[in-house]
């Protein structure tokens, strides 16, 4: 445009230009505008981007020059000074209406409400989460939100959809769930290969995607929540129910055997949930709602942050980020707890990883109690969540 004189010849100097041009001169939204804007700002450049992406780009800096145009004509008018476009403003997406409160939930919808008891994203986390969403083209209307992500891919999801990949190395569900919750319903129905690919992000909090000539690494530190039926027909553990596919025990073993030991081993809390009956749906709500639980969670997280800061490890902010030797130090149980842990470790044949995971859960339960020391009661509860792992593993 500068070359044909539609805009002043020096108008574009010092600008980075981004967008998808339509044949009619319209400029359509593209993915990745936020990181591009941050990059341009770092180089001291301005940004020309699609109008639909302006609010997103505006997050990069309040000072940088941003021209967000809907069409080439708007862009030309802006630079000729006939109709100057206002600088776009950063937007926060309003939390959609009344979030369902924890106490209004019956049965399995609970997972989707997890973000209501988690603290909002910190500014640094918000930026990380938004950069990933931007690269994936998932920022609606350019507005960011400080709500923790909740992702629930269907069990037919491919491996690239889960961990990332494809033509443009798009971030997968594990990265879109960064700092939030990844919920996998009907866990054994996922492709075994796709489930296997979760092990790396679960262990190191990031995922590497190999391309033909380079590697892309995305952060992927998420809380994994999964649900499954006891067997494929769904009711093997119900009294009086006879599985269509043979003996109940065999039907359950076959189904649960689809999950690999190493994956099961990485899940800390295993809970058996009875099927929701009509009676459950008319029960009065439990006394504790999202607000009360969220306050307890916030207190426990504050305790954890203070603890690790006090021993000179401010980069560790939650128990989830504490590893082996550190866990042994901060979760050292009292005498009663230690005896219980020794017996259980033998009886359950806990691996070193399993042992540390029990310690981490017990420390967190103590924090939720506001307790300084990990007691026998906390260890007993942590071990009970682990006991079902062994059952499933034996089936595998
Ligand atoms: Zn069955």
Report pLDDT digits (tens) over 125-168. Answer: 888 999 999 999 888 777 788 888 999 999 999 999 999 988 77
How close is the Cα of 255 to the center of ligand 1, in Å?
8
Spell out the CATH class of 102-228.
Answer: alpha beta
Residue 98 confidence (pLDDT): 46
Residue 78 confidence (pLDDT): 92
Task: Determine whether 171 is exposed, middle or buried from the number of CB atoms within 10 Å of its CB (0-12, 13-18, 19+).
Answer: buried
**pLDDT mean for each 10 residues of the chain (396 residues):** 76 89 91 91 92 89 91 91 89 60 59 80 87 88 83 93 88 95 93 92 90 86 91 83 85 88 87 72 68 89 94 90 90 90 87 89 94 92 83 56
Residue 167 confidence (pLDDT): 77
Q: What's this model's pTM, rounded to 2 decimal places?
A: 0.82
- In the chain, what are the domain boundaries? 15-90, 102-228, 290-395
CA trace torsion 181, 186, 188, 190 (10° rounding): -70
Q: How far is CA 222 from CA 168, 192, 225, 261, 368, in A?
A: 23, 20, 9, 20, 20
Residue 213 confidence (pLDDT): 76
53 and 33 in contact (C-beta within 8 Å)? Answer: yes
How close is the Cα of 231 to the center of ligand 1, in Å?
4
Phi, psi at residue 23, to the nearest 5°? -65, -25
How close is the Cα of 385 to the center of ligand 1, in Å?
24
Tokens of 343: 């017996």
How close is the Cα of 215 to the center of ligand 1, in Å?
43
Residue 101 confidence (pLDDT): 64
Residue 147 confidence (pLDDT): 85
How close is the Cα of 25 to the center of ligand 1, in Å?
59
How close is the Cα of 114 to the center of ligand 1, in Å?
29
């Amino acid at each position: 445009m500068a070359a044909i004189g539609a805009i002043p010849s020096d108008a574009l100097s010092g600008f980075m230009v981004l967008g998808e041009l339509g044949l009619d001169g319209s400029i359509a939204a593209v993915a990745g505008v936020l990181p591009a804007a941050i990059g341009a700002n770092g180089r001291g450049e301005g940004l020309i981007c699609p109008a639909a992406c302006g609010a997103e780009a505006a997050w990069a800096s309040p000072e940088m020059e941003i021209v967000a145009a809907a069409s080439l004509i708007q862009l030309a008018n802006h630079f000729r000074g006939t109709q100057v476009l206002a600088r776009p403003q950063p937007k926060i997406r309003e939390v959609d209406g009344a979030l369902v409160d924890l106490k209004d939930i019956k049965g399995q919808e609970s997972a989707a409400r997890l973000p209501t008891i988690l603290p909002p994203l910190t500014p640094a986390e918000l930026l990380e989460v938004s950069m990933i969403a931007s690269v994936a083209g998932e920022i609606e209307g350019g507005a960011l939100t400080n709500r923790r992500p909740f992702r629930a891919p269907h069990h037919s999801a491919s491996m690239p959809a889960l961990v990332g990949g494809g033509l443009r190395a798009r971030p997968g569900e594990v990265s879109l769930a960064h700092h939030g919750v990844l919920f996998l319903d009907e866990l054994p129905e996922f492709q075994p290969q796709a489930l296997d690919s979760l092990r790396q992000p679960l262990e190191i909090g990031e995922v590497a995607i190999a391309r033909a000539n380079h590697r892309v690494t995305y952060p992927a530190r998420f809380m994994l929540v999964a649900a499954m039926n006891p067997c494929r027909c769904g009711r093997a553990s119900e009294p009086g129910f006879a599985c269509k596919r043979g003996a109940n025990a065999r039907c359950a073993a076959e189904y649960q055997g689809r999950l690999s030991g190493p994956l099961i081993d990485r899940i800390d809390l295993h809970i058996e949930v009875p099927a929701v009956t009509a009676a459950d749906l008319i029960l009065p709500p439990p006394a504790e709602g999202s607000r009360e639980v969220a306050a307890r969670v916030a207190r426990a997280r504050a305790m954890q942050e203070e603890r690790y800061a006090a021993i000179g490890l401010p980069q560790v902010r939650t128990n989830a980020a504490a590893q082996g030797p550190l866990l042994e130090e901060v979760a050292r149980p009292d005498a009663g707890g230690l005896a219980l842990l020794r017996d259980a470790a033998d009886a359950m044949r806990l691996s070193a990883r399993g042992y540390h995971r029990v310690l981490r859960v017990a420390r967190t339960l103590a924090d939720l109690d506001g307790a300084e020391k990990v007691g026998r009661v906390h260890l007993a509860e942590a071990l009970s969540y682990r006991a079902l792992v062994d059952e499933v593993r034996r089936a595998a």
